[in-house]
Amino acid sequence: MSSALLTEITTLDDEVLVALQRIRAACATGDKHDPLDEAAALQLKHRGLDGSRLWMIGDSGFALLHGDALDLAVAPSVRGAGFGTTLADVAAPVAGTAWSHGDHPAAVVLAQRHGFDRVRELWVMRRPVASGLPASPDRPESSSMVEIRGYRASDESELLRVNAEAFADHPEQGAMDAANLAERMAEPWFDPAGLLVATEGDRMLGFHWTKRHSATTGEVYVVGIDPQAQGRGLGKALTSAGLQHLADRLSPGAEVILYVESDNLPARAVYEGLGFTHASTDTHVQYRHPHP
């Protein structure tokens, strides 16, 4: 995949996958952000190009259209040669949305050139893993019957129910079904003990799914609360319990990250109260094309 010619890829063979990984790794190193989010990466891993289109310029850049969502990346070492423009010219006209991971200035230019509007900001927030952890995790209000424990296989249906109700208005997380849940749980990082659930009798009230990326990085992966259980302090209690879980498993000096919608003020307040901070460079931006 060394040619500088634009090619639409129809088969994900080993050569293509290696080239994709090189571009992703170069961008992750140079930009501090993977140009593919988890949903796009799992789509490629489990369904290949089914329902997707992929254009590549050797191992210099790619444009991946999955559904109507576009991810475009150019390796930092070859930026300025027009590869981003070439990829956007072929992919943007058939895309409905596009992500800029890290709010890159070049993405702003390409979005404006192709008529995309900035519609959504996803913040990355960070905190040192052991900084200011409570001596014991906060307990939710009316906690006498509430248990916080690790995930069991019998929790699947309740987890999917709470997730669907908690994220009914979330375009990605709210779409998680049993198949997608199984794909995530099949990933090497999955640890049932790190998927903390709050239950009251047979009913799940909420969950905090943690993720251990490495010995130095953990993640508040998903926190979901049953809307009928809102206002009981479950979000803070589950987040605190998950932070303690990560602190027990990460090395000293490690950090915990999370992703939150910039306009989700209640969630931001919880995370800021737990010591998470946000830098402007830690922002992912979604653009949308107002097709007639």
Question: pLDDT for 25-46, tens place per residue?
Answer: 999 999 988 999 898 999 899 9
Which residues, 6+ apart, have CB-to-CB distance to 285 below 8 Å? 99, 100, 103, 107, 118, 120, 121, 122
> How many angstroms separate the Cα of 239 from the Cα of each of 140, 160, 211?
11, 19, 12
Mean of the per-residue pLDDT values of the chain: 91
> How many angstroms separate the Cα of 184 from the Cα of each of 41, 42, 178, 188, 209?
11, 8, 10, 9, 11
Residue 27: Cβ-neighbour burial (10 angstroms; 0-12, 13-18, 19+) = buried
**Dihedral through CA 254, CA 260, CA 265, CA 270, nearest 10?**
-30
Is 242 a residue whose pLDDT tops 60? yes
Q: Helices (H), strands (E): how many in the chain?
A: 8, 12
**% pLDDT > 90, the chain:** 79
Write down the pTM of the prediction: 0.85
Instruction: State the pLDDT at residue 141.
Output: 56
**Domains, in order of start, for the chain:** 6-115 (3.40.630.30), 125-282 (3.40.630.30)
Give residue-wise pLDDT tens across range 171-223: 788 889 999 999 999 999 999 999 999 999 999 999 999 999 999 999 999 99
Which residues, 6+ apart, have CB-to-CB distance to 9 below 8 Å? 16, 49, 54, 55, 56
Give residue-wise pLDDT tens across range 122-176: 999 999 987 766 555 555 555 568 999 999 999 999 999 999 999 998 878 888 9
pLDDT-derived band of residue 4, with 50, 70 and 90 as boundaries? low
Query: Regarding beta strands 52-57 and 61-66, do their DSSP bridges make them parallel or antiparallel, or are they unpaired?
Result: antiparallel
Q: Name the nearest CA neighbour of 56 among 15, 104, 115, 25.
A: 15
**Angstrom distance (rounded) from CA 65 to CA 88:** 11
Give the type of residue at 127: R
Instruction: State the pLDDT at residue 134.
Output: 58
Instruction: State the pLDDT at residue 142.
Output: 53
Is 3 a residue whose pLDDT tops 50? no
**Angstrom distance (rounded) from CA 39 to CA 19:** 19
Which helix (H) or strand (E) is 25 found in, with range? helix 14-31
